[in-house]
Each structure stands twice: as structure tokens, then as C-alpha cells.
């Protein structure tokens, strides 16, 4: 991942120290013995490394609640959240959502700015102003991370931000030049997945799949504790996998792909055709919840296919957990049992029952994904 501005006071840790800091971040408070076991380090090596991390104030000993009567107590280690703060941004059409987090990923501040700007330069100017305002209030801010819909492979440029109508834009360089902080950019679903893996409901997993429902259909994966980027940042592009051979055509000419069967707009179109009147996505969810038979059939058909799609992803990477989220998640929540049936019906017979969870996340949760990128850059370079 590239830095696009000088991160002069970022800690310079060697690979082993980085792995210790990351393990404390993800699993802390954690006992030294457990940390040594996880990382396969000897006790003297760990002692040397943790001493250094405590000296640089990245890690601290958690105060003992009750000291042992005899002997020197071994205090668990945790990340020192106050050591540095970070701005995370999620860019959507017409607005930017920002959070400030501490080094432990805990959210301190939330801020949203709306803008009518469409052109990338004007839009990013507004985002830069927001970052400067946050920094004026919080001098501990050491870096910025941005999640944006579209492929990003170098921590800097989005190649094609389809929903914003942008071509290739060097989002990281533009913002870094404007605010004077290191800025790291990534695809928004991948950024969200990183924060779910480090701080959220995937924290205890080494392998994870996150599927997002909404205006688009997104997918990102963690395998063996590594967020998968893929060649040119385009892994997880499953939004055009076919789910139904006789389904309607998408903008790219496929029949019945995920982009028409599972997105908010696609579901609204299918339901509108079924009832013979124009419906918005939110109305479809409400009608289906209230038991409207025609809309219910449409949503349940798509829900079963969503389960089938989850099964394909799960068969491919065998994640410990599947997380469904995104602003269109209510569709899956109200058809939960059908999604699970579609998953179970299509999953490999070798698999154990899947750990599938559905989460309502807002755009500030997505912005926290940006902060996770900034923290990753700060700690791991
Ligand atoms: Zn398609």
C-alpha cells in the first residue's frame, strides 16, 4: 500500500514488531503467554518486543484489577488508543461520511457533509475541508483512509468510480496534497471488510467473506488473516454472476445476474413489474414485511438466489463466517430463512453449517473502514 504524503512520525517497526502490534490490536487485552503462543515467539523475544512497543507508547499494560497476592503480576497488553488518531472517510453520491477513531479503532467523532458537487476536484475539495476541520479539533490525527466504490489497487487511484460517474482519479494524492497527511484509499467494500476483520464481527476469524447489498452488490474476502485485493484490486467482482437464466437483462447484457436480482434498484424493478405499479426499494421491503403476496414472492425468489450466491463464495474460500450487510440488508433480514435455505441447499456436502450473520451498518461504519486503512498504514507501512 502506498503512502502519498510524508508520515514522518509513524512508528518504524520491523516485521516481527508489526506482527506483535497487530496481534495486540486485534486480540487485546491479551496475556503475554497467549500472545507468544499465537505468534510462535519465545518468551524472551516477546519480552524484548513488547518492551519496545510500550516504550514507543503504541502498546500499554492494562492496569490490574486485582493484584496477585504473591509474585509479580503479568499484566495483559492492549493497544494504546491515545497514541494516534485517524480519519476514516466513506464517499457516496452527494455526501462524505467521516469518523475519527483512536489507534484501537474506537470511534470518537462522526461527521457528515453533503455536497452537490459532481466533479471529482470540487467534491474532493469539500472532503479536504472536512478533514482539515476534524484535524483542527484533534491534533492527534496522524493519517486518513478513504473507502470509495470502484477498483483501487495502489492505495491511491480509483480506476472507475461507477456510482459517482468518475473516471480514473488520484483520490489519495489530491487529498494528501490538500491536507498534509498520509492518505490511503481502497475500495469501500474491502475497507469495510478490513474493519470488520480487525474491529467488528469478524474479529475472531482468520477467514471471512463480506457481501454487501444496496445500490450495487459487493464482495470482499479475508483468507488466512489477509484481506484479498487481487490483481489490479478487482477481486470479489461477483455482481454479474448469473443467478437465473430467464431473469431480466442487466446493463452489461447478462440475464438474471446478481446486479439485477439482488440490488435495491433491481429488486424494486422486479417488484414493480409483479404488482404493475412503480415501487421504491423501501416500499418493497415494507410491503413484503406486511405480507403482500406478490412482492413477497419476488423478494423470496431473490433471497433464495442470494443464499445460492453465498454458497458459491463459501464453497470457494471456506470462510469461518459470512457477513451480509449494506444499506439494502433489510431485504435479506425479512427473508432470513429463505436466504439460509438457499445457502444450505447449494453448499458442499463437506461443509459444516455456515456461520452467516446479517448486520445493519450505517455509512459511519463504512467510514470506520477508511480509518482501519489509515491504522494499517500507520502500523504496518
Ligand atoms: Zn450483469
pLDDT in tens, 141-198: 999 999 999 999 899 999 999 889 999 999 999 999 999 999 999 999 999 999 999 9
Name the pLDDT band for 2 (thresholds 50, 70, 90). very low
Residues in the chain: 381
Tell me how far the alpha carbon of residue 6 lies from the centroid of ligand 1, in angstroms.
41
326 and 232 fall within a common domain: yes
Q: Domain check: are 242 and 142 in the same one?
A: no
- Cα of 284 from ligand 1 centre, angstroms: 22
Is pLDDT of 72 > 80? Answer: no
pLDDT of residue 11: 85
Distance (Å) from CA 329 to ligand 1 centroid? 20
pLDDT for residue 71:
61
**Ligand 1 center–CA 294 separation, angstroms:** 24
Tell me if 10 is assigned to some domain. Answer: no
Q: What is the pLDDT of residue 3?
A: 37
Q: Is the confidence at residue 371, as pLDDT, over 80?
A: yes
How much is the pLDDT for 69? 58
Read off the pLDDT band of 350 (50, 70, 90). very high
Which triple of cell numbers denotes residue 234? 478487482
- Asked, for residue 69, whether it belongs to a domain, the answer is no
User: What pLDDT score does 9 carry?
Assistant: 74
Q: Rounded to the nearest whole angstrom, what is the distance from the C-alpha of residue 211 to the centroid of ligand 1? A: 17
At residue 4 the predicted structure's pLDDT band, cuts being 50, 70 and 90, is very low
Q: What spacing in Å lies between the alpha carbon of 152 and ligand 1's midpoint? A: 21
- 3-state DSSP helix/strand/coil % of the chain, to nearest 5: 45, 20, 35
Residue 67 in this model has a pLDDT that exceeds 60: no
Q: Are residues 25 and 108 in the same domain?
A: no
- Domain harbouring 256, CATH code: 3.30.420.40
User: Do both 94 and 117 map to the same domain?
Assistant: yes
If you measure from the C-alpha of residue 245 to the centroid of ligand 1, how many angstroms do you get, rounded to a whole number?
A: 12
d(CA 42, CA 50) in angstroms, rounded, equals 12
Measured in Å, residue 258 CA sits from the centre of ligand 1 at: 7
Q: Separation of 249 CA from ligand 1 center, angstroms?
A: 7
What's the confidence (pLDDT) of residue 126? Answer: 97
Residue 373 confidence (pLDDT): 98
Ligand 1 centre and the CA of 15: distance in Å?
A: 42
Taking alpha carbons only, the member of 155, 152, 170 closest to residue 232 is 152
Does residue 216 share a domain with residue 191?
Answer: no
* 228 and 128 in a common domain: no
pLDDT above 90 coverage of the chain, percent = 92
Whether residues 316 and 210 fall in one domain: yes
Q: Measured in angstroms, how far is the CA atom of residue 251 from the centroid of ligand 1?
A: 6
Q: Clarify whether residues 350 and 209 are in a common domain.
A: yes
d(CA 243, ligand 1 centre) in Å: 10
Residue 35 has pLDDT above 50, yes or no: yes
Cα–Cα distance, 111 to 53 (Å, whole number): 32
Q: Are residues 45 and 88 in the same domain?
A: no
| Domains identified in the chain, total number | 3
Residues 328 and 314 in one domain: yes
Q: Is residue 328 located within the same domain as residue 372?
A: no
CA angle 265, 270, 271 (to 5 degrees): 95
This prediction has a pTM of 0.94
What is the sign, positive or negative, of the torsion defined by CA atoms of 263, 198, 113, 124? negative
Please indicate, yes or no, if residue 52 is contained in any of the structural domains: yes
pLDDT at 340 over 70: yes
Partners of 94 in the β-ladder: none
What pLDDT shows up at residue 63? 79
In a domain, 1, yes or no: no
Q: What is the CA(248)–ligand 1 centre distance, in A?
A: 10
CA of 238 to the centre of ligand 1 (A): 9
What is the residue range of 32's domain? 15-63+74-82
- Could you tell me the distance, in angstroms and rounded to a whole number, from the CA of residue 324 to the centre of ligand 1? 20
Task: Please tell me the distance between residue 147's alpha carbon and the centre of ligand 1 in angstroms.
Answer: 24
3-state secondary structure 153-177: CCCCCECCEHHHCECCECHHHHHHH
Residue 7 has a pLDDT of 46
Residue 237 and residue 334 in one domain: yes
In angstroms, what is the span from residue 305 Cα to ligand 1's centroid?
14
CATH code at 45? 1.10.10.10
Amino acid at each position: 500500500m502506498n503512502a502519498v504524503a510524508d508520515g514522518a512520525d509513524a512508528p518504524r517497526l520491523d516485521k516481527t514488531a508489526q506482527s506483535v502490534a497487530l496481534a495486540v490490536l486485534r486480540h487485546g487485552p491479551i496475556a503475554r503467554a497467549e500472545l507468544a503462543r499465537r505468534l510462535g515467539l519465545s518468551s524472551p523475544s516477546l519480552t524484548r518486543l513488547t518492551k519496545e512497543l510500550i516504550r514507543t507508547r503504541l502498546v500499554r499494560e492494562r492496569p490490574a484489577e486485582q493484584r496477585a497476592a504473591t509474585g509479580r503480576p503479568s499484566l495483559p497488553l492492549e493497544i494504546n488508543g491515545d497514541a494516534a488518531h485517524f480519519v476514516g472517510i466513506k464517499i457516496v453520491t452527494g455526501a462524505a461520511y467521516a469518523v475519527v477513531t483512536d489507534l484501537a479503532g474506537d470511534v470518537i467523532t462522526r461527521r457528515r457533509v453533503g455536497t452537490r458537487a459532481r466533479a471529482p476536484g470540487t467534491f474532493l475539495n469539500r472532503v479536504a475541508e472536512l478533514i482539515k476541520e476534524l484535524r483542527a479539533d484533534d491534533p492527534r490525527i496522524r493519517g486518513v483512509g478513504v473507502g470509495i466504490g470502484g477498483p483501487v489497487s495502489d492505495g491511491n487511484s480509483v480506476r472507475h468510480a461507477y456510482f459517482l460517474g468518475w473516471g480514473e482519479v488520484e483520490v489519495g494524492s489530491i487529498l494528501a496534497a490538500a491536507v498534509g497527511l498520509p492518505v490511503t484509499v481502497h475500495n469501500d467494500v474491502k475497507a469495510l471488510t478490513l474493519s470488520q476483520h480487525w474491529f467488528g464481527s469478524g474479529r475472531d476469524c482468520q477467514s471471512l467473506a463480506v457481501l454487501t447489498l444496496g445500490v450495487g452488490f459487493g464482495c470482499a474476502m479475508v483468507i488466512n488473516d489477509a484481506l484479498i485485493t487481487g490483481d489490479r484490486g478487482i477481486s470479489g467482482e461477483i455482481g454479474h454472476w448469473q443467478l437465473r437464466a430467464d431473469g431480466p437483462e442487466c446493463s452489461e447484457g447478462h440475464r438474471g445476474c446478481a446486479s439485477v436480482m439482488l440490488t435495491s434498484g433491481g429488486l424494486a424493478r422486479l417488484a414493480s413489474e409483479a404488482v404493475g405499479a412503480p415501487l421504491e426499494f423501501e416500499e418493497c421491503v415494507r410491503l413484503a414485511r406486511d405480507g403482500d403476496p406478490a412482492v413477497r414472492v419476488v423478494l423470496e425468489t431473490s433471497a433464495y438466489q442470494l443464499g445460492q450466491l453465498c454458497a458459491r463464495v463459501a464453497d470457494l474460500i471456506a470462510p469461518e463466517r459470512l457477513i451480509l450487510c449494506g444499506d439494502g440488508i433489510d431485504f435479506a433480514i425479512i427473508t432470513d430463512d429463505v436466504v439460509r435455505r438457499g445457502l444450505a441447499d447449494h453448499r458442499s456436502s463437506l461443509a459444516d453449517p455456515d456461520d452467516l450473520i446479517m448486520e445493519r451498518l450505517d455509512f459511519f461504519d463504512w467510514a470506520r473502514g477508511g480509518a482501519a486503512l489509515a491504522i494499517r498504514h500507520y502500523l504496518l507501512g
